[in-house]
Structure 1
Amino acid sequence: MFSKILIANRGEIALRVVRAAREMGVATVAVHSTADADAMHVRMADESVCIGPASGAQSYLNVAAIVSACEITGAEAIHPGYGFLSENAAFVQVLEDHDITFIGPTAEHIRVMGDKITAKETMRKLGVPCVPGSEGGVPDLQTAELMAAEIGFPVIVKATAGGGGRGMKLARSAADLENAFRTARSEAKAAFGNDEVYIEKYLGTPRHIEVQVFGDGRGRAVHLGERDCSLQRRHQKVLEEAPGPAITPEQRAEIGRTCAEAVARINYAGAGTIEFLYEDGNFYFIEMNTRLQVEHPVTEAVYGVDLVREQINVAAGLPMSFIQEDLRLNGHAIEVRINAEKLPNFSPSPGRITQYHAPGGLGVRMDSALYDGYRIPPYYDSLIGKLIVHGRDRDEALARLRRSLGEIIVDGVDTTIPLFAELVEDPDIRAGNYTIHWLEDWLARNLA
């Protein structure tokens, strides 16, 4: 086991890793920008190192500074959290060159899954169902027109290096295709430095379902069920739950087994998430995230495991602490992402927290790095906390969510808490009857 690890991240996820490491008797090093000198993860870690100015590019994305912090403190491994460098294959390669362990998959696995075309081709070969679409990048408009005619409209044009909805355009008919193709390429070039795009069939009313997998890097892997992440705004997840309200036990077992077998065959190591669109009883692969997800706590709640602890163990060369037969689904969990944003426009709302009170009670977990007097900096993502509730069934989880939203206090900044207080009362949410388009439609009707 490692004696010391460095956490190359900030906020609630950095604090989450500190807590897991402390329970394991592993010392931690927090890195931080000048804007995060008073952050909770810095206060809670055993050591801290300032790695640069407020800008993420000059601090949390500063590979040289992070590697130097490892060498200065003697940290043997790095946990990347999510975001920042967590899926940066070049960063992992640098760590390998410096004999520093990356708590996650290999650089090659990150590289393969980071390119959506290569990921899709790989998963298809591994037997994972995929959305009908182009076999590779689409080089020109003429090819796009031929491919779209073969697939059938509507189609969606996507950047191969895309994410977060950028470089993604819908063409409902042949008349829309030229503009969609050219706009997607232009956005992809600007956002990712790569204008390659591909085309897929557009599904009209899908749900967003993701399967949690975990591998030991030596040909053994398990799945920990699925999460429904369909409630999204501008392709960003807002609420997640496990298990998915629309997924049957038989479907869960089948798609879970398919995903576990796929990652086992490539000797995948650590936590990963295979994401699907789900419609009319069918799963269609869209991408794999080679890191810990923001919404991992709902899986931890219903399966009773600590995924961060497991990541650290496997990276240290220890076997997984469970096999597939040990994993039993228990109840239902829901997570809401609380952002420092002002409604109805969701504009960022940084500032000083004048009062903070976390909800509690049976089945309630609050992952946050907030405290009274903390000043939320304006330089980073607006996520300030995750409220996770767990119940014996979905109704009980919803009841605990409703209660917890009434208990939480975050004064001094605007937050999205009022949004969830309304959503939890909506009949569609209570019935689990929603798709990836539901929230955008709801917001247009209720927060316009």
Structure 2
Amino acid sequence: MFQKILIANRGEIALRVLRACKELGIQTVVVHSTADADAMHVRLADESVCIGPPPSRDSYLNIHQIVAACEITGADAVHPGYGFLSENAKFADILAAHNITFIGPSGDHIRIMGDKIEAKRTAKRLGIPVVPGSDGAVTEEKEARRIAAEIGYPVIIKASAGGGGRGMKVARSEADLVVALQTARSEAGAAFGDDAVYIEKYLEKPRHIEVQVFGDGAGRGVHFGERDCSLQRRHQKVWEEAPSPALNAEERAHIGGVCARAIADLGYSGAGTIEFLYENGEFYFIEMNTRLQVEHPVTEAITGIDLVHEQIRVASGGGLSVRQEEIRFQGHAIECRINAEDPRTFTPSPGTITHFHTPGGLGIRVDSGVYSGYKIPPYYDSLIGKLIVHGRNRVECMMRLRRALDEFVVDGIKTTLPLFRDLVGNADIANGEYDIHWLEKYLAKED
């Protein structure tokens, strides 16, 4: 087991990893920018190192500073959390060159799954169902027209190196295709420094289903069930739940088994999430995230397994702690992402939190790194906390969520709490009848 882990992140995920390390008796080091000097994870860590000014590129994305912090403090492993450097293959490679363990998959696996085109090819080879579309990057309009005609309109054009909805355009006819192709390539080049795009069949009303997987790097793989992340705004997840209200037991077991076998065959090490669009009983691979997800607590709630403990165990060479047949799924869990944003316009709302009170009681968990008097900096992601609720079934979970939202108080800034109080009373949400477009239609109707 590691002696000292450096946590290369901030906010609630840094605090989440820190707590897991303390439970395992591992010393902790956190890095921070000057803007985060008073952050909760900095206060609670055994050691802290300031690595630069507020801009992420000068601090949390500064690989050389983070490696130097490891060497200064004697950290023998790095947990990247999510975001920032968590899916940076170069970072994983540099740590390996310095004999520091990256708590995550190999640089090669990060590279494969970070390239959407290569990821799709790999998924297809591993037996994972994929969306019909191009086999590689599309550069010529003639080729784009041919592929679109073969798979049928509408089609979606996506950036190979993309994410978060950037470099993504829908074409509903041949007349739309040329403009969509040019726009997507332009956006991809500007956002990611790579204008490669590919074409897929566009599904009209799919759900977003993702499967939590783990591999031991030596040919064993397991899945921890699925999460439904269909409530999204501009391709950003807002509400996640497990298990999905849309799947039956047979579908759940099937797609979980497919993903677990694929991870084993890949020789993958650590946590990963295989994401699908799901429509009319069919699953279509869209991407794989080679890191811990923001919404991992809902999986922990229904399995009783600490996924960060599992990450650390696997990275230290201890292998997986459970076999597939030992994983039991109990009840239902929902996570709401509480952001420092205007609930109507989603404009960021940095500032000082004057009062912060979290709900409690059976089945309630709040992951947050803020406190009364804490100043939300304007430089980073607006997530300030996650409310996770667990019940014996979805009905009980929704009842408990409604009560917890009423208890949650954040004063001094605007947050998305009012949005969730609206959603929990909506009939479609109560019935689990929504797709990836539902929330944006709901918000447009409210305006």
Map Cα deviations across residues 8-39 of structure 1 (whole Å, 9 max, x no partner): 00000000000000000001001000000000
Instruction: Please tell me whether the aligned partners of residues 343 and 417 of structure 2 are also in contact (alpha carbons under 8 angstroms).
Output: no
Q: Check if 1:201 corresponds to 2:198.
A: no
Contact 2:270 2:315 in 1 (8 A): yes
- Superposed, 1:329-344 pairs within 5 Å as 329-344=329-344
- In the alignment, what sits opposite 1:260? 260
Looking at structure 1, the residues matched to 277 and 80 of structure 2 have their Cα atoms a distance apart, in angstroms, of: 27
Query: In the alignment, which residue of structure 1 is the partner of 2:428?
Result: 428
Give the aligned partner of residue 287 of structure 2. Answer: 287
Instruction: Report matched runs for 1:27-426 at 5 Å.
Output: 27-426=27-426
2:302–2:333 contact (8 Å) kept in structure 1: yes
**What CA distance in whole angstroms lies between the structure 1 residues aligned with 2:219 and 2:295?**
26
Secondary structure of the residue that 2:137 maps to in structure 1?
Answer: coil
Whole-Å Cα distance in 1 between the matches of residues 321 and 157 of structure 2? 42
- Whether the aligned pair in 1 keeps the contact of 2:159 and 2:184 (CA below 8 Å) is yes
Aligned identity (percent) is: 69
Counterpart residue type for residue 18 of structure 2: V
* Partner amino acid, structure 1, of 2:223: H
Using structure 1 for the length normalisation, give the TM-score: 0.99
Aligned residue identity for 1:337: R
SS at match of 1:344: coil
**Following the alignment from structure 1 to structure 2, what is the Cα–Cα distance between the partners of residues 419 and 359?**
17
The count of aligned residue pairs is: 447
Q: Could you tell me the TM-score, scaled by structure 2's length? A: 1.00
User: Which letter does structure 2 place at the counterpart of 1:126?
Assistant: L
Aligned equivalents of 1:410, 1:30: Cα separation in 2 = 26
Separation in structure 2 between the aligned mates of residue 138 and residue 175 of structure 1, nearest angstrom: 17
Shift of 1:395: 0.5
Structure 2 residue identity aligned to 1:326: E
Q: Distance in 1 between matches of 2:66 and 2:189?
A: 28
- Determine helix, strand or coil for the equivalent of 2:333: strand
CA distance in 2, matches of 1:142, 1:197: 14
Deviations 1:326-384 (A, max 9, x none): 10110000000000001311100000110101111000000000111100000000000
In structure 1, how many angstroms separate the alpha carbons of the residues matched to 2:228 and 2:64? 38
CA contact (8 A) 2:333 2:388 kept: yes
- Equivalent position amino acid for 1:142 in 2: K
Q: Structure 1: how far apart are the matches of 2:290 and 2:410?
A: 32
Is 1:4–2:4 an aligned residue pair? yes
Provide the secondary structure at the position in 1 that maps to 2:395.
helix
Aligned match of 1:443: 443
- Take 1:188 and 1:142, find their aligned partners in 2: how far apart are those partners? 20
1:114-162 alpha-carbon deviations (Å, 9 max, x no partner): 0000000001011000000000010211110111011100000000001
- Amino acid corresponding to residue 218 of structure 2 in structure 1: R
The letter of the residue matching 1:283 is F
In the other structure, the counterpart of 2:22 is 22
Specify every segment of 5 or more residues in structure 1 that has no aligned partner in the other structure, as ranges: none
Residues 265-297 of structure 1 deviation map (CA, whole Å, 9 limit, x = unaligned): 111011000000000000000000000000000
Which of structure 1's runs of 4+ aligned residues deviate more than 6 A?
A: none
Partner secondary structure for residue 205 of structure 1: coil
The Cα shift of 1:319 comes to: 1.9
- CA deviation map 1:384-432 (0-9, x unaligned): 0000000000001101110000001111100000000000000000000
Q: 1:79 offset after TM fit, Å?
A: 0.1
Distance in 2 between residues matched to 1:321 and 1:313, nearest whole Å: 8
What is the rounded CA distance, in whole Å, between the counterparts of 1:50 and 1:119 in structure 2?
Answer: 36
Distance in 2 between residues matched to 1:412 and 1:48, nearest whole Å: 28
Query: 1 CA distance for matches of 2:236 and 2:434?
Result: 15
Output the CA distance in 1 between the equivalents of 2:342 and 2:306. Answer: 33
CA RMSD, Structure 1 to Structure 2 (Å): 0.5
Which secondary structure does the structure 2 equivalent of 1:68 belong to? Answer: helix
Cα distance in 1 for partners of 2:130, 2:143 equals 21
Provide the C-alpha distance between the structure 2 equivalents of 1:153 and 1:371, rounded to a whole number of angstroms.
50
SS of corresponding position for 1:336: strand
Stretches of structure 2 lacking an aligned partner (at least 5 in a row): none
Amino acid at match of 2:296: H
Question: How many angstroms apart in 1 are the aligned matches of 2:280 and 2:133?
Answer: 18
| Secondary structure of the structure 2 residue equivalent to 1:275 | strand
